[in-house]
Amino acid sequence: MSVVLEDIVKRFGNTVAVDHISLAVEPGEFVVLLGPSGCGKSTLLRIVAGLEAPESGAVRVDGRDVTALEPRDRDLAMVFQNYALYPHMSVAGNIGYPLRVRKRPQAEIDAEVLKVAAKLGLAELLNRRPKELSGGQRQRVALARAIIRRPKAFLMDEPLSNLDARLRVETRFELKHLQHELGAATLYVTHDQAEAMTLAHRIAVMRDGRVLQFDTPFNIYNRPANLFVAGFLGSPSMNFIGLPGNGTTLGVRPEDVEISPVPFEKGQPATVYAAEEMGNETFIRISLPAGERLTARVAADVRPDFDAPVWYRFRAGRTHLFDTKTTEAIQ
Ligand SMILES: Nc1ncnc2c1ncn2[C@@H]1O[C@H](COP(=O)(O)OP(=O)(O)OP(=O)(O)O)[C@@H](O)[C@H]1O
Ligand SMILES: [Mg+2]
């Protein structure tokens, strides 16, 4: 099942929340909307869900124009950040709810609940109430409730944001496997780049209501289309060096800056400004003679002193060039 957005526009007063966005989620594809706060991710998702009407443009599910349909008639399952479970119902009651609403026979509901609960590691928890669950367990109940309907597609808005770092990574793996197993088209909103990189088949990087690049995680990282995308993905961020002579900006990722305590071929001199030891690697901030600073990402056993002289060079073929004025990449 595909989900296609055609030239969607949505304004709130003077704010253009969604500014002519078109994109397609292919059958079985996991597409992530990634961008800073306020860039229009949730608004776009709510338009697909039918919770918000676009000013212009169309939403198609499997080729059918659903723009004028009520949310319940679109056959899309939603999992939102604030996954409201029914507090008075057990886990089993919550998971089976969408099937009860559809008046399916109780025996069939029980069997489906067991199947989905097993898939999400909830089989032991079916008789508990939501308040007796951890945040991650509640999150999985919300997912199970969405899955049990076998919707044509999933819409998820920051579904992991209430989880602590460890649980988030764990649930990320579960989500990824689940999507592989169910093969449903998924449109997933996050502002977390690690979530986007790990889950997506394709990422739409958004800013100010627009999609700046829509491509695979590999291409978004290795062939960023403009300065914003280049700087938004990657941690630590890409280094940028203005080249005033020709109006371009050179970009180089920290892992592509090589450092040596002694002069080496093509190496340029610098000094150590500060270093951060991460345990498995070290981030070194160096000062260039003209005053610019660059970050290098190096092996954990490199432990330079403050102000020590170092030499740096950029890994061949790993630099990016951008037009400083238009911010677009120069190929
Ligand atoms: N109901 C509303 N009324 C007025 N303005 C709104 C409304 N909903 C969203 N906006 C505005 O539209 C823009 C996009 O908001 P949206 O919630 O889609 O952003 P987002 O990308 O989901 O951000 P976040 O990462 O913070 O959730 C923002 O400028 C926001 O203030
Ligand atoms: Mg949002």
Q: Where are the domains of the chain?
A: 3-229, 236-323
Q: Is the dihedral of CA 269, 274, 278, 279 positive or negative?
A: positive
Alpha carbon nearest to ligand 1 atom 17, residue: 42
Whether residue 140 is predicted with pLDDT greater than 80 in this model: the reply is yes
Query: Which pLDDT belongs to residue 274?
Result: 96
Alpha carbon nearest to ligand 1 atom 26, residue: 37
Q: What would the pLDDT profile of 108-118 be if each residue is shown by its tens digit?
A: 999 999 999 98
Ligand 1 atom nearest the C-alpha of 158 is 27
Pairing label, strands 257-260, 293-299: unpaired
Alpha carbon nearest to ligand 1 atom 22, residue: 42
Q: Give the DSSP H/E element, type plus range, for residue 175.
A: helix 165-182
R_g (Cα) of the chain, nearest Å = 24
At residue 269 the predicted structure's pLDDT band, cuts being 50, 70 and 90, is very high
For residue 52 and ligand 1, the question of a CB distance below 6 A is answered with no
Give domain 236-323's CATH number out of 3.30.70.890, 2.60.120.620, 2.40.50.140, 3.30.56.10: 2.40.50.140
Q: What would the pLDDT profile of 6-32 be if each residue is shown by its tens digit?
A: 999 999 999 999 999 999 999 999 999
Pairing label, strands 309-314, 15-25: unpaired
At residue 178 the predicted structure's pLDDT band, cuts being 50, 70 and 90, is confident
Average pLDDT over residues 120-130: 93
Alpha carbon nearest to ligand 1 atom 6, residue: 12
Q: How far apart are the CA of 17 and the centre of ligand 1, in A? A: 6
Average pLDDT over residues 144-168: 85
User: Are the beta carbons of 276 and 282 closer than 8 angstroms?
Assistant: yes
At residue 182 the predicted structure's pLDDT band, cuts being 50, 70 and 90, is confident
Our mutation pick for probing the ligand 1 site, out of 39, 161, 191, counting the most ligand atoms within 8 A of Cβ, is 39
Average pLDDT over residues 156-179: 83
Query: Which pLDDT belongs to residue 128?
Result: 97
Whether residue 162 is predicted with pLDDT greater than 80 in this model: the reply is no
Q: What would the pLDDT profile of 281-310 be if each residue is shown by its tens digit?
A: 999 999 999 999 999 999 998 888 999 999
Query: Which pLDDT belongs to residue 325?
Result: 96
Whether residue 171 is predicted with pLDDT greater than 90 in this model: the reply is no
At residue 69 the predicted structure's pLDDT band, cuts being 50, 70 and 90, is very high
For residue 42 and ligand 1, the question of a CB distance below 6 A is answered with yes
At residue 63 the predicted structure's pLDDT band, cuts being 50, 70 and 90, is very high
Query: Which pLDDT belongs to residue 160?
Result: 84
At residue 90 the predicted structure's pLDDT band, cuts being 50, 70 and 90, is very high
Q: How far apart are the CA of 310 and the centre of ligand 1, in A? A: 46
Q: Give the DSSP H/E element, type plus range, for residue 25.
A: strand 15-25
Paired strand residues for 243: 248
Average pLDDT over residues 148-169: 84
Question: What proportion of the chain, given as a percentage, has pLDDT over 90?
Answer: 78
Whether residue 83 is predicted with pLDDT greater than 80 in this model: the reply is no
For residue 17 and ligand 1, the question of a CB distance below 6 A is answered with yes
Structure tokens of 330? Answer: 């120069």
For residue 19 and ligand 1, the question of a CB distance below 6 A is answered with no
Say whether pTM exceeds 0.85.
Answer: yes
Greater pLDDT, 147 or 253: 253
Structure tokens of 116? Answer: 């989905």
Alpha carbon nearest to ligand 1 atom 7, residue: 12
What CATH number should be reported for the domain whose range is 3-229? 3.40.50.300
* Cα distance from N-terminal residue to C-terminal residue, the chain: 35
Q: What would the pLDDT profile of 256-267 be if each residue is shown by its tens digit?
A: 999 999 999 999
Average pLDDT over residues 140-156: 88
Alpha carbon nearest to ligand 1 atom 14, residue: 40
Instruction: Give the Cα separation of 123 and 110 in Å (integer).
Output: 12
- The sheet carrying 309-314 orders its strands as 257-260, 309-314, 268-277, 281-287, 293-299
Query: Which pLDDT belongs to residue 317?
Result: 94
